[in-house]
Amino acid sequence: MDGIPPDMGDVSVGKTLVEYRDGIRVISRHHLTRDMFETEYLDPKIPVIVTGCMESWKCYREWTLDVSEKAKLVHLGALAKVFKDIRVPVISMNTGEKSTMLMQEYCSDRFWKSGTWKESKDTLYLKDFHFCIEAPWTLAAYETPEYFLDDWMNTWFDGDDEGIRQTFGSEFKKSDYKFLYFGPRQTSTLVHTDVVRSHSWSAQLAGRKEWKLLDPSYSSVVENHDGICIGESLSDFNDGVATVTQYPGEIIFVPSGWYHQVLNLDNSLSINHNWIDSSSLKASWQYLMKEYDIAARMIEDCKPFTSPEEFEDLVSRNVLQNCGFNRESFLRMVAYVLDHAAPLSTHIGKRRQYYGKDFAEISTL
């Protein structure tokens, strides 16, 4: 598979023991420096699983129950207590209908019996829960690993309240790209790439996840001529697809542009961040510009009835609705991060300035 070495079991790389699962490397943080991560995985956009990052996390210790070295159960009582009377988003695996309910209700014996989802109940998947916004005390429950700190999206959403309001309107509810996922076994997410071709990292707290990852050079098998995903599953494909199981205590890095789908093999609890880093700015911008072209073609019939400015505004609003970003918001994010975050003397600051200048050549920044 392009970009992924063959499945080789355990091999020695220098003095480092590296495990391979269907071609995806698994490596301990103790053998992976930040420079190594950037050089070998982040910049070339190669998936990797990192172990050993979560032992000190409060959520890993207290929101789960130990079973064995590689097995943890979701601690329903702990989640109900931590999130108390907060409403959480859920989606029906049977109908696709979205709704909200109290976390206490979701964790209750209405749905669960002896740690197993009741078969008589509609299977509900708690996903895309902005837990740091809804329960800010949980920010202290985990720590973003050093590999993923160059995070332009969450830096902007966390810090630039005025820019957010100007972009999304004064009624916009504070948001971020930090999520909690909790679902019974066999809950799943269909094939997709992440918002504006962002990266993602996903930390598995309890249960096992099966990931199917599609090498970007094979993207055409799930895309139409506009590059829009029309496939629902990667299970029908072999070429370009890696299938890997993620265990509790492991963090998977899914690079920008990699289509993926996820299946919870057990009752599963995980934390996920979407993020754009310095080196992926250009790819995200190019994806956004392609979305502008598609949105303009979709409403081309409106052109005779609008001024050029009105038509551009319609296109921009549609892109914002579909992608979570438009030109204005993306450029606001870039300007804010370059102006407010990471001193130039730091490693991240140097990367941001270097790639920020490169990005400026293709944008109106």
Per residue in 177-224, pLDDT tens? 999 999 999 999 999 999 999 999 999 999 999 999 999 999 999 998
Q: Which helix (H) or strand (E) holds 81?
A: helix 76-83
User: What Cα–Cα distance (Å) separates residue 179 from each residue in 52, 67, 103, 219?
Assistant: 21, 25, 15, 26
How would you class 148 by CB atoms within 10 Å of its CB: exposed for 0-12, middle for 13-18, buried for 19 or more?
buried
- Whose tokens are 């916009």? That residue is 172
| Alpha carbons 127 and 109: distance in angstroms, whole number | 20
Instruction: Give the three-class secondary structure for 275.
Output: strand
- 310: Cβ–Cβ under 8 A, 6 or more apart, which residues? none
Q: What is the mean pLDDT of residues 329-351?
A: 80
Q: Where are the domains of the chain?
A: 10-276, 280-360
Task: Give 220-278 pLDDT, tens digit per residue.
Answer: 999 988 888 888 889 989 899 999 999 999 999 999 999 999 999 999 999 999 999 98
Count the neighbouring beta carbons within 10 Å of the beta carbon of residue 224.
Answer: 10
Does position 43 have pLDDT exceeding 60, yes or no? Answer: yes
- Which secondary-structure segment (H or E) carries 28? strand 24-28
CATH classification of 10-276, choosing from 3.30.70.100, 3.40.50.300, 1.10.260.40, 2.60.120.650? 2.60.120.650
pLDDT band at 364 (very low <50, low <70, confident <90, very high): low
Helix (H) or strand (E) holding 51: strand 48-51
CA-nearest of 24, 69, 11 to 50 is 24
Residue-wise DSSP of 285-324: HHHHHHHHHHHHHHTGGGGGGS-HHHHHHHHHHHHHHHHS
Residue 11, pLDDT score: 42
Q: What is the pLDDT of residue 4?
A: 47
Q: What is the per-residue pLDDT for 341?
A: 59
Tens digit of each residue's pLDDT (9 = 90 or more) over 64-80: 999 987 799 999 999 99
Integer Cα distance of 209 and 201 in angstroms:
13
CA distance 343 to 350: 8
Parallel/antiparallel/unpaired status of strands 10-13 and 16-21 = antiparallel
98-102/87-92 β-pairing: antiparallel
pLDDT tens, position by position, 307-324 = 999 999 999 999 998 898
Residue pair 216/160 in contact by the 8 Å Cβ criterion: no
128 class by beta-carbon count within 10 Å (0-12 exposed, 13-18 middle, 19+ buried): middle
Angle between helix 327-340 and 152-159 (nearest 10): 90
Is 60 in contact with 251 (CB distance < 8 Å)?
no
Give CA–CA dist 271/252, Å, rounded: 11
Cα separation, 287 vs 170, in Å, equals 27
